[in-house]
């Protein structure tokens, strides 16, 4: 399925007193990976929200293997696990500049109509783009 790569440099404010990335910041790194994945298809979260679709995270699982540190350049690999339905699932790997595996993770998000707040199927415009890959 569709795979993207995002590179970021760890900022000082993202580290804890031990000099490593605070564990809660990895969720933001994953969000950046998802945002870039969506942009690679020609969409954005804003576009989806403007079209009355929101994507809340309903599951997040992170397996920490090795810490990222201040000024590391990390690469977030974001992979769509399967064709979306009412949910969309991603698998991630985060590596440092030495290609050491730091984190593996998964997220599950659901498609929700922002007006009714009810679950909905993945938008046709997204499915069409994925069909052509």
Q: What is the pLDDT of residues 7-41, one digit of tens each?
A: 999 999 999 999 899 999 999 999 999 999 999 99
From CA 31, how far away is CA 35, in angstroms rounded?
Answer: 6
pTM of the model: 0.94
What is the domain-level CATH number for residue 48?
3.10.129.10
How many distinct structural domains can be found in the chain? Answer: 1
From CA 19, how far away is CA 131, in angstroms rounded?
Answer: 44
In tens, the pLDDT along 56-111 reads: 999 999 999 999 999 999 999 999 999 999 999 999 999 999 999 999 999 999 99
Residue 75 lies in domain: 3-131
CA atoms within 13 A on the CB side of 90: 29
Q: Which two tokens stand for residue 61?
A: 């699982």
Active site residue 16: yes
Residue 105 · residue 63 · CB < 8 Å: yes
């Amino acid at each position: 399925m569709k795979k993207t790569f995002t590179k970021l440099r760890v900022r000082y404010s993202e580290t804890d007193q031990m000099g490593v990335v605070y564990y809660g910041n990895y969720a933001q790194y994953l969000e950046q990976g998802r945002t870039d994945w969506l942009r690679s298809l020609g969409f954005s979260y804003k576009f989806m929200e403007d079209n009355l679709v929101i994507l809340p995270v309903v599951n997040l699982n992170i397996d920490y293997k090795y810490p990222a540190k201040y000024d590391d350049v990390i690469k977030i690999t974001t992979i769509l696990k399967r064709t979306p339905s009412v949910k969309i699932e991603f698998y991630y790997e985060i590596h440092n500049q030495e290609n050491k595996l730091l984190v593996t993770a998964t997220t599950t998000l659901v498609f929700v109509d922002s007006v009714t707040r009810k679950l909905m199927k993945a938008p046709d415009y997204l499915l069409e783009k994925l069909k052509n890959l």
